[in-house]
Chain A
Amino acid sequence: MMVFFIAIPLLTVVLQSFQFKQELLETREREKCDPFGCETEIVTIPVLDENGNTIKQNQWVGFQNYKNLLKFNEVQEAFSTIGEGWVDIRNIDFYKALRFTITFTFITLPFILFLGLVLALCVNALLQSLRGPVIFMTLLPFIITPVIGSLSIKWLFIGDGILTVFLEWIQQKDISVFSNGWSVELLMMFYRVWHATPFAFVIFYAALQTVDKEKIEAAIVDGANKFQRLRFIIIPHIMPLIVFVTLIHLMDAYRVFDEIIGFDAAAHRISLQWLTYNFLMMDQGGNRFIGRASATSILTMIGIVIILIPVLRKTWKDQKEKKI
């Protein structure tokens, strides 16, 4: 019996490891594609394993792909006497994408957390009969196809869209939202907040149901006002969930892509994932820059790992404490 008890989990673990091996395998594949876009440049291909070190080494060796992306020379130039510093760097695709992705991720985050919490508190204070429909409506933006969602918001602002007309009426001048980079960026952030707030809301709302009532009553007896109650009882109670929502949001927002398609914003703002996508799409000559795409993917991956390191370290510590 014991054998079976261990056998089933082992079997499934093996099954699962197979699943992941697929993914690991193609990391190796990706390394192989690296020299693809640069046959003329490098003839000797270093043998790569799945080790993170070798990937880093690639960068230092200066594979043409990475060079093409990162453009070290131009960066140097930009900071030397000829260039204009940051302005120049922003014109290089990769840095442009990096800049947008990072700002996008970190600016939307506080909005989502705050809005989600406020909404959860509000709905929690609503009458029981009203909660169902409100939650139903709230879930809609979350569940909708991202491309369609961003399209539907775009249609509100397009040319004679209702909200553009409204804004024009307020400001008494012609506005065209989609001709400025910053306004498109703002709109994309708005869309992301619209799309991701329900998620935060549902989780916070569920957590609010489990707040210890006695604690709150005790706090009331002790004379705590509402904000003190919120600050010292509710927030600590849902703190782990705030971390969770942050984590998920970081992962998702870092992958920002659908918005750029939906808002047709590629001319103004691009993200890292869009950059890879663009390399993978066939151009007029029928070429795909798989090598360059791989380089971008790897850099993107490094980026997300850097962002996730604090969280992962915390999980690891927790696990260690549990063991002890």
Chain B
Amino acid sequence: MSMLSRRIFIHDGFKVVSLGLAMPHIFTRAAQAAGAEAGRDPSALHSPDAQSNDPYANRTLIVVQMAGGNDGLNTVVPFNDPVYLQNRKNTGIPEDQVLKLDDRFGLHPAMGGMKSLWDEGKMSIVHGVGYPNPSFSHFRSMDIYQTANPEGKADEGWLAKLVKGSVDRRGHPFAGFAAGGTLPPALMSPDYPIPAVSNVDNYKILPDPRYALDAASRQDALVKLYQNYPGGAPFAQVLRSTEEGTLSSIDQLQKAHQAYKPAATYPTDGFGSGLKLLAETITGNLGVKVGYVTIGGFDTHSNQRNQHQRLLQSMSDGLKAFWDDLSAQGKADNVMIMSWSEFGRRVAENGSNGTDHGTATPQFIIANNMKGGHWGDPLNLSQLDKGNLKFTTDFRSVYATVMDGWLGAPADKLLGARFPTLGFLGNGSAM
């Protein structure tokens, strides 16, 4: 990447794009438009921007939220630290059960799928992720991660800000996409609609079955009624942008859905279906820059063993299937996965065979052509703050690395401060 193209990008990245004017559809197909510019039939082109000299053009970031506070110590197990099992007599995972990464760390035994990605050098583990003055509230801590703001306050989520303010070198807006029927706060903006989809088969406007011909007239009226809702009235921005965003995303999503044939077998749980949906948007060339999926239930205060096993199995199997699918469809090189969780758990287990709210926890990064391995300093289990781990890596450093190095977005500007980047994209050395 030349400095020149980077500057253009950053400059363009802060043109505010007005949705209604800039694009007829929410998924602006940068690729399609590029093909049309070159006088080719856009529909015949699978990935026309491959010829572009912009290395970021077709890249996608997939964010995986592990909601509830993932017990990092039982996920990336420091099996040779005796303090670990001393604190985890009932819930700890002994050395002979972990999937060893090296002589210090092993993955939870349910994570065979992710272990194979690690073995291929396609996975990084960022250790000790957290932030200063940690909150033990799920909700405040999630707010902090989702806004990338230490007070958890902002007028939109950090990913919405990334998607909304940025355009690629041709001026096409980024698209965001949330798998699941709930839009995560990280992708929320009062005036910029990001589709949240749980089931594409339901993702359409039902007509009056007896008068299908009336559908256009009825929908025209609906659009006008929303346009004429006063702009300063309550919820005007969110309602109008939701209505516009919905109507402008249905057709392309249906098209991508019909064309998609999975090349791997996904787990049949909600997380697996979410990943499959994300794969549809990627193989369908919808121009999705940021995709999002949540796996919930990590708040393991009691009987942690079975619950945590089930969740990590689901996550690991799902991500492996997703990666296999994308690889078979020739898309994996353009995708990066980043996981996060609002906090880890207390080092010492409680009396319920579970763990209470804690602090730092690892993040996983998955990508081809990445410098896999351990990043960030490992946590010290012997130097605690009132029983809690002291974080070693600020989560905004991970965000900055991904925004800057993977998407070519101006991380300093988006985060409001400069955070040191980590080296997993190739320009640094692992610990």
Report if A and B associate in a common complex.
no
Hey, which bits of chain B sit against chain A, CB under 8 A? none
Hey, which bits of chain A sit against chain B, CB under 8 A? none
